Structure 1
């Protein structure tokens, strides 16, 4: 018997190949789901596969367009997106995201205005699809004026605006514009916000539950909302005093720039239970805002307080002598905490948390001198947390973890009754 030709396949292989299902035979929702994981340009190119694939890409429920990932020039990107939105028509669109960073060599004023006109036309096309969420991140778009329809779109539940290198005498977001009856989440970056604008946002978005302000200039004196439950200030600056009236507020996130330059006053926040503070650095000459904020926390039922950033130790070292007693605090978290990073400061803070039940330390490896290690190992600053039950340590590097816990156990009377939980992050 002659050996089979290596170029011929067996009957079994032919049968398997013949019986393999065709991708095009899958249900339409499955195919659309597959296309949604592809790059928009690649998804559109599937239209040449067969007649059935011709319009499948138009049913993708989300579009994520990023020009600096697009292979080609700005002109090619503009042509592609314009054509795609035209042929897509008014097909239902759930989410739309546009990140457009104009080329560095684009300096001609007329050319910039052309880009602005193109971006505006795209927004109108997207709004005709009644989207649920829109995210716009635009760099170097001078003279941009966002269309009025964007702030009166009844279908929108989430809106994110990041306008970098923006310069226009007329702000793109005005109090008369906002009428978003179903908006639940709003994220604003690089904008100047005054009292009329903030009043317009809260009155025009009656269901708003989450608000995030990033690198914004604050020119308002108060924030009032009965529905808002989550509020974030990230790298904001401006107003000297901001009073917050939010009876439904549950969580508050702050970075050091805000507390150093703005005094936040909690006037009506009876539901506030979670506060997260991130300090990448701390300017000791500007601690009054942080101290006033800490005093405000004693008047609200905050039960979960979190600290992150390398500047936390310097902040606490300055504030602790005048720090209030946190009677309601039950959970305390320190992120990025090292073995020999001023543990005396931590122990002193624990003296101000008599009802603490859980302490979480997210440990990081710290390289330090032998002298620093000896100083850290001999410190004795006792604290009394009679209700403390658990010390949780999350670590990526085990070096120094046990030494960290030993210092804490040595300084508390509840050492033998505590549960120590370790987990690798």
Structure 2
């Protein structure tokens, strides 16, 4: 069968306008995704860079303390400085030498004379002190200051003289000489005191508990009654579960009653409340020594000093005793000069045209004075470099300087999303255009 093809007269044929070809869902999705990413990239927050570690910020360490024996308190001071441009959150460290143990507050602030916090510090049990810069450094330059802290000498000195303590500061070591008292050479055995004595000391580095001991002289009568009363001062109370009375006739090398002791033969009568302790021995023979160990808890940690008073009565003779222990605390200072204020932007002179005459009026004469502020040296810390003022040309006025150094950024954020969004948007547009052309060709055939 022959196909019949009907030919239309071109002159009588009317072409209806064709609708634009619809893009495929995939193409539309690509274009939409590109536009969405472009919008998100414009507002995506740029994450801040990780805090930096400032090397060798501790510039010196010194002490005037002398080591008398193991567990002697040794106080140190230091000076520190960080370079301009350091950011809030940046840190620097100080590692104590192995001979020393941290003693006192583990957290403290480094403040300006007006009370602004420049940095904070935290000391770990390992003796590592980490200093963290605060927001103060964002608006100041020439940042530096001091620190002070207390330690305990943990080793038993072998001999007198001077020893070197190595403080690790970043990649360097600061060596500090410390004087060691000459130990006893002869007749060094502990001896009983001639009169009643009392000592008290901190038993923990957090300074929440105090230990004390009463040392009594040997009794001199055939029999003696002995009574000790102990009264804690403000901010403390007695822990009645940690009362240890001792009696005997000899002392060990640490000055405590040696074993075997005589507690079983001469037991003590203990009456204790958090605010008062009374311990009594009855009928102690001649030559007997008595000691009493007491633990008190701190109930008010805001005090600078804690006292304890007591009375010792031996064969009717009363002797008052009193002791005070001060709280050791780490502290620090910091300071810096404020960043210069922004220099106002001076507009370039322009000509004006008179609307009536059409003549131009020349700009006013005179050149604005601009200059770069000089960076001054800080009161504490390492001086910053000095920059001489430089006058800029009149047609290029100095740009204003920010009053606060902005946080550093990694660059991986919204700025990276925008190019990708543009590529996707362009790709989606091209695909949409090619789809439209192919659709047009198919309709043409």
Structure 2-normalised TM-score?
0.19
Bigger share in helix: 1
> Which protein has greater RCO, CA pairs closer than 8 Å, 6+ apart?
2
Which one has the largest radius of gyration?
2
Calculate the TM-score normalised by the size of structure 1. 0.19
